[in-house]
Structure 1
Amino acid sequence: MEFMNNSCLLLLILFTFLFYTKSKYFFLKFDFI
């Protein structure tokens, strides 16, 4: 049970990191202000 909990947390962190990197890249690509 503990292992599953940690896996879920790790997956959530990974997903957040991916989303953050993607949005950062997106904003850098279309930064013309």
Structure 2
Amino acid sequence: MSTATGPLGPLLRVVHGSPTDEELAALAAVLTAV
């Protein structure tokens, strides 16, 4: 799963419980852009 790229990369890491602040910010940006 570590090979995930794009918006799903950060999302998968959040789901698996090890997101970084940067990934959370990217995920929030993706969600607000949808």
Q: TM-score range by the shorter chain?
A: 0.3 to 0.5
- Superposition TM-score, scaled by structure 1 size: 0.45
- Higher helix proportion, which one? 1
- Superposition TM-score, scaled by structure 2 size: 0.44
